Structure 1
Amino acid sequence: MPDTIAAPTGIHRRQILKLGLFGTAVLATAGGIASLGGCSADSPARGFQQLRESDLPMLRRVIPVVLVDALPAGQRTDAVDGVLLALDNNLNRLSPSLNRQVLQLFDLLTLGVTRGAVTGIWGSWENASDEAVKAFLKRWESSSFTLLQQGQNALTNLILLSCYSSPASWPQCGYPGPPRI
């Protein structure tokens, strides 16, 4: 009987280390550029506890794309503002380390130096088309870099949680609400 050991399939330890170093470098660069550029995680936008002014244009473009059919047609702007407030409230309830990671993700997506390279959206978020935002989300979702997949997952799940946790969104999706006790 031959003594052969099958090589394990999947990711190897060296690939994990490279991915970790790449992710650390990307987030550290985005954080360093943000701090040099005057962006501070300690200065939330007016009316928000966590979200910064620089985060809002990106989120106002991504939220309608993620929630395509979930937003009421006549009140899209108000619905997006409601999701932003809920998202801010959810971020405020995260642990400090998770909150910092989400804000670093937002820095990566909003800084002009990194935005174009990682999202493919070279102009401002306000001028990005729905197709460009969809392409960015799809590219991250199917990326070979686990870090980008996790970033897309975190971004979309935070938006979905913020939308569907509100009782105002329940009739739109046919959810009658929790049973009364």
Structure 2
Amino acid sequence: MTNTVKAHDPSRRSLLKLGLVGGALLATVGGIASLSGDGDDQPAPGYLALRTGDLPFLQALIPVILDQALAGERLPVVMPALLRDIDLGLASVSPALLSQIRELFDVTSSRLTRGPLTGVWQPWQETAPEQIAEFLLRWRDSSLALLRQGHAALLQMVLMAWYGNPDAWAHCGYPGPPSI
């Protein structure tokens, strides 16, 4: 019998190793981000769960995710309600899930981790919508499951807040819930 060597055959074991290495890398980066942050887990004034450092990221992210649904002139009117609805949603999740979401916000907001993990090196307030869209695509298509999960979590938070908001209903032709 002749032994043949396959050039590249990703086995389940090599995929598990890659996942473990990626998870360890993200946990390390997340730990560094949380250590380098201000350590303030207190909600921002007027919020139940969102912290002051979370707001610039969300304010930059929401218009990109809702690009086709939210016209620019409506953004200043709708943004406070969307942030409030995201906050209310986060205030009602389990402490473990809230901790994970806060780690996600820490990683995307910390100067040490934002650039390497998102490709966005400047503060979110100074980031062009195209760069934010590229970051979202990079995370969506990442080979690391944690980045794909982070992408899904960000989209779900924003979309749940948007489609729960009566301002969004007219855009999609929904007349609203039945009245009794």
Return the TM-score normalized by structure 1: 0.85
Paired position in structure 1 for 2:116: 117
CA drift of 1:136 comes to 0.3
Deviation sequence 1:13-57 (CA, Å, 0-9, x none): 45335424532442354244324432322x111111111111111
Q: How does 1:120-131 map to 2 (within 5 A)?
A: 120-131=119-130
CA drift of 1:79 comes to 1.1
Paired position in structure 2 for 1:168: 167
Asked if 2 retains the 8 angstrom alpha-carbon contact of 1:115 and 1:122, the reply is yes
Instruction: Out of 27-36 and 158-167, give the one that drifted further.
Output: 27-36
Paired residues, number: 172
Structure 1, gaps ≥5 residues long: 1-8
Instruction: Out of 114-123 and 26-35, give the one that drifted further.
Output: 26-35
Instruction: Out of 75-84 and 22-31, give the one that drifted further.
Output: 22-31
Q: How does 1:2-41 map to 2 (within 5 A)?
A: 12-41=12-41
CA drift of 1:98 comes to 0.9
Structure 2, gaps ≥5 residues long: 1-8
Residues 11 and 68 of structure 1: CA distance in aligned 2, closer, same or farther (over 3 Å): farther
Paired position in structure 1 for 2:83: 84
RMSD of equivalent CA atoms: 2.0
Give, as a single letter, the amino acid of the residue that structure 2 aligns with 1:83: L
Q: How does 1:12-161 map to 2 (within 5 A)?
A: 12-41=12-41, 43-161=42-160
Deviation sequence 1:145-173 (CA, Å, 0-9, x none): 11111110110111000111122321122
Distance 1:97 1:12 in 2: 29
Moved over 3 A (4+): none
Paired position in structure 1 for 2:4: none
CA drift of 1:80 comes to 1.7
CA drift of 1:71 comes to 1.9
